[in-house]
Structure 1
Amino acid sequence: MTQDNLSHLRKFILMLARESGKILRTGYYKSKSITSKGDQGIVTDTDLRAESRLISLIHKRYPLHHILGEESGKVISKKSLDLHSNKKNPDASIDFRSDYLWIIDPLDGTTNFAHNYQQFCTSIALAYKEKVILGAVFNPITNELFFAEKGKGATVNGQKISVSKRKLKHALLCTGFAYKRDHWMHNNLSNIGAILARGAQGVRIDGTAALDLCYVACSKFDGFWESNLHSWDIAAGCLIVEEAGGKVTNDKGKPWHFNDGNIVASNKIVGKDILEIIK
Structure 2
Amino acid sequence: MSTYSRELEVAELAVQRAAILTKKVFHEKAKGTVSKDDKSPVTIGDFGAQALIIQAIKKNFPGDEVVGEEEASTLRDNHKLRDEIWALVKGTKLTDADSEKLLGGPVESVDAMLNAIDAGNSAGGSKGRIWALDPIDGTKGFLRGGQYAVCLALMVDGEVKVGALGCPNLPVDDSAPLTADSGMDQTDAEGKGVLFSAVFGQGATSRPLTAGGLAQSKPIHMKPVNDITQATFCESVEAGHSSHGDQAAIAAKLQITKPSVRMDSQSKYGSIARGAGDIYLRLPVSATYQEKIWDHAAGDLIVREAGGQVTDTLGRRLDFSKGRTLAENKGVVAAPSAVHSIVLDVVKEVLSKK
Q: Which interval holds the TM-score relative to the shorter structure?
A: 0.7 to 0.9
Name the counterpart of 1:35: 34
| Residue of structure 1 aligned with 2:260, choices 189, 198, 203 | 203
* Cα RMSD after superposing both structures: 2.3
Cα separation, 2, equivalents of 1:264 and 1:72: 30
Q: Percent identity?
A: 25
Shift of 1:197: 4.6
Shift of 1:98: 6.1
Matches within 5 A, 1:1-279: 3=1, 6-30=4-28, 31-37=30-36, 39-72=38-71, 99-117=128-146, 119-140=147-168, 141=188, 142-157=192-207, 158-166=217-225, 167-176=227-236, 180=240, 185=243, 188-200=244-256, 201-208=258-265, 210-226=266-282, 227=284, 228-258=290-320, 259=326, 260=329, 262-279=331-348
Shift of 1:4: 6.2
Higher strand content, 1 or 2: 1
Retained in 1: the 8 A contact 2:308–2:336? yes
Retained in 2: the 8 A contact 1:64–1:98? no
Cα separation, 1, equivalents of 2:330 and 2:203: 24
Q: Which AA in structure 1 matches 2:197? A: F
Shift of 1:61: 2.0
Shift of 1:243: 0.5
Shift of 1:179: 7.3
Give secondary structure in 2 for the equivalent of 1:10.
helix
Retained in 2: the 8 A contact 1:65–1:98? no
* Structure 2, gaps ≥5 residues long: 73-125, 169-187, 208-216, 285-289, 321-325, 349-354
Shift of 1:40: 4.9
Cα separation, 1, equivalents of 2:62 and 2:161: 19
Shift of 1:261: 5.1
Give the direction of change, closer, same or farther, for the CA distance of 1:33–1:261 in structure 2 (3 Å limit): farther
Cα separation, 2, equivalents of 1:261 and 1:64: 32
Deviation string 1:195-216 (CA, Å, 9 cap, x unpaired) is 13531133121121x1101111
Cα separation, 2, equivalents of 1:239 and 1:37: 28
Give the direction of change, closer, same or farther, for the CA distance of 1:152–1:66 in structure 2 (3 Å limit): same
Q: Which AA in structure 2 matches 1:198? A: L
Give secondary structure in 1 for the equivalent of 2:291.
coil
Retained in 1: the 8 A contact 2:148–2:267? yes
Cα separation, 1, equivalents of 2:25 and 2:48: 9
Q: Which AA in structure 1 matches 2:9? A: K
Deviation string 1:26-53 (CA, Å, 9 cap, x unpaired) is 1111231112235452111111111122
Retained in 1: the 8 A contact 2:4–2:162? no
Cα separation, 1, equivalents of 2:337 and 2:44: 39
Retained in 2: the 8 A contact 1:178–1:229? no
Q: Which AA in structure 1 matches 2:263? A: D
Cα separation, 2, equivalents of 1:155 and 1:194: 30
Cα separation, 2, equivalents of 1:169 and 1:180: 27
* Structure 1, gaps ≥5 residues long: 74-96
TM (normalized to structure 2)?
0.65
